[in-house]
Amino acid sequence: GDSVTQMEGPVTLSEEAFLTINCTYTATGYPSLFWYVQYPGEGLQLLLKATKADDKGSNKGFEATYRKETTSFHLEKGSVQVSDSAVYFCALNEWAGGYNKLIFGAGTRLAVHP
Amino acid sequence: ETGVTQTPRHLVMGMTNKKSLKCEQHLGHNAMYWYKQSAKKPLELMFVYSLEERVENNSVPSRFSPECPNSSHLFLHLHTLQPEDSALYLCASSQDGGTSGYEQYFGPGTRLTVT
């Protein structure tokens, strides 16, 4: 079946550093791709998405580009803040023959220090 | 974010208790989901309801019993749980509209502790 692989964390950065969290996927079709963020004590929030190859999703300074040739959807941010400390999940949408479901990666914890 | 609400936010129960988790979505979606999130495992999809019909039961033990009385409400009934069932239980909803794929919106979760 479809799957998502994320880089293991934790990722520890200083404020204003550049962030990359790698995500690759395997899928039989052309799924939609998502990044979700989970802040401490909260549920998952949709951060950005891309629905087809070469699409770039962006939100709150974060970006990710749907790369079909490398089956990747890496998350980037040019200058992280302490408030970006959270767990980030990459996911793809799978059509399960009658309904949609999301396949999630294991999550990558980001810690940003002042 | 108030699109998907969950109650209670925290629950402590003994192994012989019966309790229910409630989820309500205010987004007009037609699909709802229960996930389990524990420290030792990635997000686990438990149940999927599409148009109020259960379409996936992901090998979940029978001590977890879902109920979807309408498209806006989803319950998870709990009985005779085990300590390893302690986790964050997340509800989500989406607009299921064919093969194009739609994002899911999550509630804040219920932190369950089984003693």
For residue A97, give the H/E element and its range. Answer: none
Query: Among residues A14, A19, A33, which one has the least CA distance to residue A76?
Result: A19
The arithmetic mean of pLDDT across residues A23-42, rounded, is: 93
Rg (CA), chain A: 14
Whose tokens are 């799978």? That residue is A94
The residues, any chain, with a CB within 8 Å of residue B34's CB and separated by 6 or more, are: B23, B45, B46, B47, B66, B74, B76, B89, B90, B91
Interface touch A100/B109, C-beta < 8 Å: no
The arithmetic mean of pLDDT across residues A40-48, rounded, is: 93
Determine the pLDDT at residue B97. Answer: 66
Structure tokens at A56: 């770039």
At residue A83, the 3 state secondary structure works out as helix
Residues of A in contact with B104 (CB under 8 A): 46, 102
A2-41 residues touching B, CB cutoff 8 A = 31-32, 34, 36
Determine the pLDDT at residue B39. Answer: 85
Higher pLDDT pick, B2 / B18: B18
A104 reaches B (C-beta below 8 A):
yes
Interface touch A101/B103, C-beta < 8 Å: no
Interface touch A51/B103, C-beta < 8 Å: no
Determine the pLDDT at residue A101. Answer: 86
Read off the pLDDT of residues A14-27 as tens digits, 9 standing for 90 and up.
999 999 999 999 99
Read off the pLDDT of residues A77-103 as tens digits, 9 standing for 90 and up.
999 999 999 999 999 998 877 778 899
Interface touch B48/A101, C-beta < 8 Å: yes
Q: Is the pLDDT of residue B59 over 80?
A: yes
For A39, name the nearest residue in chain B, comparing CA atoms only.
B108
Interface touch B107/A31, C-beta < 8 Å: no
The arithmetic mean of pLDDT across residues B27-55, rounded, is: 89
Determine the pLDDT at residue A69. Answer: 94
- In this structure, are residues B69 and A5 in contact, taking their beta carbons and an 8 Å threshold? no
Interface touch A99/B109, C-beta < 8 Å: no
User: Closest partner residue to A44 among B6, B42, B106, by Cβ?
Assistant: B106
User: Closest partner residue to B90 among A43, A105, A106, by Cβ?
Assistant: A43
CB pairs under 8 A between A and B: 61
